[in-house]
C-alpha cells in the first residue's frame, strides 16, 4: 500500500511540472507577441508623429513662402502705383486681393494644405507679369510715337525756320526797299541871316544882328520814292533846349508822337534833285550859343545841322 501511494505522488508532481512549463511557455509566447505588437505600434506611432511633424513643418514653410511672395507682389504694386499714377485704381484692387489672401494664409492651422493658395498666388503673379508686359508694350509704342513726333517736329521746325528765314529776308528786303524809298537830304546848311540896306541877305554870326535862321538842303534824286506833295518840317532848338514855335498847336506826328515844329514847307517831289530852303523869322533877339535844326518828312528825321551865334 505504501509503494502504490509513492508512485502515485511522483507521477502527479511530474504532471504539475509539465503543466507549469507549458503555461510558462504559453505566457512567454503571449508576452513576446504582445511586446512585438507594442513595439510595432510604437514604431508606427513614431512614424506617424514624424510624418505629422514633417507635414506641419512643410506647411509652415509653404505658408511663409506664400506670404513672402504676396509681400513681394504688394511691394511691386506699390512701386508701379508711384510710377504710373493713372493706373493706381487698378493696382489698388490687386493689392486688396493680396491683403485678403495674406490674412487667410496667416490663419491656416497646423498642417493644412496650401495647395489651393499656391494656385491663387500663382494667378496673382501671372497677372502682375501681364500688367508689366502691357506697360512695357505701351511704353515702347509711346517711345516710337514720341520719336515719330520728334521727327515730325524737327521737320516742322526746319520748315518753320526756313519760312522764318525767308520771311526775315523778305522783311529785310521790304524794310530796305522802304528805306530806299524815303526822301534823302544832302548839303544841309543853316545860317544866321541879316538884311543889308538893299534888303539883301547877308550871313551873320552876331546874335543881335541876325533876323532869321535860314536852312537850305537838297532833296536827292530817288526813283524809288513816291511822287507827290510832301510837307517838310523844321524844328529849331535854342541853346537851352527850348523849341522855337509860333504856337503850341503847331505840331506834327513823328513815330506816333505829336511834337511841335518851328516852320514847315510844302513841296512837290518828282523824284529829281530839288533844292529847298526853310526860314524861321525871329520873334525876339537870338540867344548866344548853338542852335540845332532838324528836318523831318514822311515820318523820318532827314538830317540835322547847327548854327552858332556870338
Its domain, for residue 109, covers 1-181
Global pTM exceeds 0.75: no
Task: Report the residue count for the chain.
Answer: 310
Strand order of the β-sheet with 185-195 is: 201-203, 185-195, 212-219, 274-281
Q: Note the pLDDT of residue 207.
A: 95
Q: Note the pLDDT of residue 152.
A: 63
Check whether residue 31 and residue 137 sit in a common domain: yes
Check whether residue 68 and residue 157 sit in a common domain: yes
Check whether residue 237 and residue 128 sit in a common domain: no
Q: Note the pLDDT of residue 177.
A: 45
Check whether residue 63 and residue 172 sit in a common domain: yes
Check whether residue 36 and residue 122 sit in a common domain: yes
Residue 60 Cα to chain centre, angstroms: 51
Residue 245 Cα to chain centre, angstroms: 60
Q: Note the pLDDT of residue 169.
A: 58
* CB-CB neighbours of 284 under 10 Å: 6
Check whether residue 103 and residue 164 sit in a common domain: yes
Check whether residue 36 and residue 48 sit in a common domain: yes
Check whether residue 138 and residue 195 sit in a common domain: no
Q: Note the pLDDT of residue 109.
A: 74
Among 181, 214, 234, residue at a domain's last position = 181
Low-confidence ranges of the chain (pLDDT < 50): 1-8, 171-177
Among 181, 212, 227, residue at a domain's last position = 181
User: How many separate domains does the chain show?
Assistant: 2
Check whether residue 278 and residue 196 sit in a common domain: yes
Q: Note the pLDDT of residue 21.
A: 81
- Cα separation of 64 and 58, whole Å? 10
- Which residues partner with 308 through β-bridges? 290
Check whether residue 166 and residue 212 sit in a common domain: no
Measured in degrees and rounded to the nearest 5, phi and psi for residue 42 equal -65, -40
Q: Note the pLDDT of residue 9.
A: 58
Check whether residue 114 and residue 226 sit in a common domain: no
Check whether residue 130 and residue 239 sit in a common domain: no
Q: Note the pLDDT of residue 131.
A: 81
Q: CB of 45 within 8 A of CB of 83?
A: no
Amino acid at each position: 500500500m505504501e509503494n502504490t501511494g509513492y508512485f502515485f505522488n511522483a507521477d502527479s508532481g511530474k504532471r504539475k511540472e509539465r503543466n507549469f512549463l507549458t503555461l510558462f511557455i504559453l505566457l512567454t509566447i503571449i508576452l513576446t507577441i504582445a511586446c512585438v505588437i507594442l513595439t510595432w505600434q510604437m514604431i508606427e506611432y513614431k512614424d506617424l508623429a514624424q510624418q505629422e511633424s514633417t507635414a506641419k513643418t512643410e506647411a509652415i514653410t509653404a505658408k511663409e513662402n506664400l506670404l513672402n511672395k504676396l509681400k513681394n507682389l504688394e511691394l511691386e504694386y506699390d512701386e508701379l502705383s508711384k510710377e504710373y499714377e493713372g493706373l493706381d485704381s487698378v493696382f489698388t484692387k490687386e493689392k486688396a486681393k493680396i491683403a485678403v489672401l495674406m490674412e487667410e494664409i496667416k490663419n491656416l492651422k497646423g498642417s493644412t494644405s496650401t495647395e489651393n493658395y499656391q494656385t491663387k498666388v500663382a494667378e496673382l503673379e501671372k497677372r502682375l507679369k501681364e500688367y508689366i508686359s502691357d506697360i512695357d508694350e505701351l511704353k515702347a509704342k509711346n517711345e516710337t510715337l514720341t520719336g515719330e513726333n520728334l521727327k515730325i517736329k524737327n521737320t516742322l521746325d526746319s520748315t518753320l525756320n526756313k519760312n522764318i528765314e525767308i520771311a526775315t529776308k523778305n522783311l529785310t528786303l521790304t524794310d530796305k526797299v522802304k528805306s530806299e524809298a524815303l526822301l534823302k537830304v544832302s548839303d544841309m546848311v543853316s545860317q544866321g541871316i541879316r538884311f543889308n540896306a538893299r534888303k539883301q541877305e547877308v550871313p551873320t554870326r552876331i546874335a543881335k544882328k541876325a533876323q532869321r535862321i535860314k536852312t537850305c538842303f537838297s532833296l536827292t534824286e530817288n526813283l524809288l520814292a513816291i511822287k507827290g506833295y510832301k510837307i517838310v518840317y523844321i524844328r529849331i532848338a535854342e541853346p537851352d533846349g527850348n523849341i522855337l514855335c509860333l504856337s503850341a498847336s503847331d505840331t506834327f506826328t513823328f513815330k506816333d508822337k505829336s511834337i511841335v515844329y518851328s516852320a514847315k514847307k510844302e513841296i512837290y517831289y518828282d523824284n529829281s534833285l530839288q533844292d529847298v530852303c526853310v526860314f524861321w523869322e525871329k520873334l525876339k533877339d537870338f540867344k548866344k550859343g548853338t542852335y540845332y535844326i532838324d528836318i523831318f518828312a514822311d515820318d523820318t528825321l532827314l538830317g540835322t545841322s547847327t548854327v552858332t551865334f556870338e
